Amino acid sequence: MSQHYHPTGRVSRLFHEFEETAIAVLLGLMTLVTFANVVLRYIFNTSLIWGLEVVLILFAWLVLLGVSYCVKVTAHLGVDAVTNLLPPRGRYVAALLAAAMSLAYALLLLKGAWDYWAPFAALNQTSGRWFPTGFQETRDQAFYVTDQVPMLDIFRWLEPAINMGEEYEKLPRVIPYIILPIGAALLLFRLVQATIGIARGHRESLIVSHEAEDDIDEVAHMNRDD
């Protein structure tokens, strides 16, 4: 059974293309900033003081978007030496069990991501040790800024919104850190989709299929016989 992702419907295709475009743009920006810094340093004896921090932020965004994207296209690696020994029914049950455990992990990750990001947005963290049971009053950390990244005018609206009208000298951390709850929410959403796909028999597991390896082995065996 093929586990390659084929979006169906106009909305699904548009969203799929948007995700791939966003990942490509992040990679392109990382390359551009790094290349510009190398040229400035070795030719003009200067550098973009904020370059390294921006690349680190872009890399974090790339990783967290890539985690959910790889769930969608079944690109995550895994060990299936034991499950491949099981009969089809056993593999089906094992895949559902793995999906359930992944969903529980994603829920915990989403709670942790929100609780970490919320203070930087002047919002409250969730209560409850494992799963959210409500919200609790949290110390405001909206005044925290990045080390070197300059403030962009398009985000000046944040000053009256969360920083009591105080001007930001650098980009507030609420902007780069917002990928934490977004990435965790996307991961949870994709895992829900994957679990439904496994339950309905549309995909075999959460990890990449080894059909290609089996096909290569079969062709190699045929060539040896010839």
Q: What is the pLDDT of residue 15?
A: 73
Q: Read off the pLDDT band of 83 (50, 70, 90).
A: confident
User: Residue 205: is its pLDDT beyond 50?
Assistant: yes
Q: What are phi and psi of 172, to 5 degrees?
A: -65, 150
**What are the tens digits of pLDDT across the range 128-167?**
988 888 999 999 999 999 999 999 999 999 999 999 999 9
Question: What letter represents residue 26's amino acid?
Answer: L
- What is the three-class DSSP state of 79? coil
Mean pLDDT, to the nearest integer, of 98-119?
Answer: 96
Which residues share a beta bridge with 170? 150
Q: What is the pLDDT of residue 2?
A: 40
User: Residue 1: is its pLDDT beyond 50?
Assistant: no
Rounded alpha-carbon distances, angstroms, from residue 154 to 14, 68, 172, 191: 26, 28, 12, 34
* Dist. CA 40–CA 43, nearest whole Å: 6
Strand segments (E) across 73-139: 125-127, 134-136
Q: Look at residues 98, 102, 92 and name the one whose alpha carbon lies nearest to residue 199.
A: 92
Q: Look at residues 150, 163, 59 and name the one whose alpha carbon lies nearest to residue 120.
A: 163
Mean pLDDT, to the nearest integer, of 93-116?
Answer: 96
Mean pLDDT, to the nearest integer, of 120-129?
Answer: 94
Q: What is the pLDDT of residue 4?
A: 54
Q: Read off the pLDDT band of 13 (50, 70, 90).
A: confident
Rounded alpha-carbon distances, angstroms, from residue 83 to 57, 71, 162, 206: 38, 19, 50, 12
**What are the tens digits of pLDDT across the range 172-187?**
999 999 999 999 999 9
Q: Read off the pLDDT band of 207 (50, 70, 90).
A: confident
- What is the three-class DSSP state of 139? coil
Question: What secondary structure letter does DSSP report for 172?
Answer: E
Question: What letter represents residue 92's amino acid?
Answer: Y
H/E element holding 171?
strand 170-172
